[in-house]
Amino acid sequence: MKKTFLIAALFIGVLLFAGGYAESSHSTEIGRQAPALAYDPADSLISLDRLRGDYVLLTFWSSTDAPSRQAANLYTAWQRRHPEAPLQLVGVNFDDSQGLFNEIVRRDSLESDEQFHISGERAIEATKKYGLDQGFGSVLINPAGTIVAYDPDPAELDALMHTNTLPS
């Protein structure tokens, strides 16, 4: 009887774990509405709702995560080469220190009005909403607020601009 109970309990645990994972992995899949993201620090505002109507490349990064920091730099460089592109770049940084974030933005010559630092509960909330527990990344969001691509590289963005059509 104990063995049957243990097997049943393990089976229920696996089902609950799989159900929770499936729910979180689908909240940011291509074709779904991007989760809400709003943050109002004293000197700036980030709000996906405010950017609705534009394409948005939302990049999550940290100075201690080399691939995500490199992506933030690549996207900034791409945008500087294509100032006419109908694309808003929004970088969301998860460094522990606001001072470190400020120094990296300065040192990497990132556009400070496109970069935002979040920490604490806001960082935890964004991590959950965007499934960042497996690492940082980027999502391309169309004017209607729908996710249309993950981690597009500069060549993909170039191709989209050459055809003059971003995915919808």
CATH code of the domain containing 51: 3.40.30.10
Q: Alpha carbon of 18 to those of 12, 14, 124, 135: distances in Å?
A: 10, 6, 21, 20
Q: What is the pLDDT of residues 90-122, one digit of tens each?
A: 999 999 999 999 999 999 999 998 999 999 998
Query: What pTM value is reported for the model?
Result: 0.76
Looking at residue 98, the DSSP 8-state letter turns out to be H
Does residue 116 fall inside a structural domain? yes
Would you state the pLDDT for residue 53? 82
Residue of higher predicted confidence among 88 and 23: 88
Range of the domain at 49: 31-162
User: What's the CA gap between 67 and 136, in Å, rounded?
Assistant: 8
Report the pLDDT averaged over residues 40-62: 78
Does any domain span residue 36?
yes
Considering the domain boundaries, does residue 74 fall inside one?
A: yes
Confirm whether 26 is domain-assigned: no
**Per-residue confidence band for 141, with pLDDT thresholds at 50, 70 and 90:** very high
Number of domains, the chain: 1
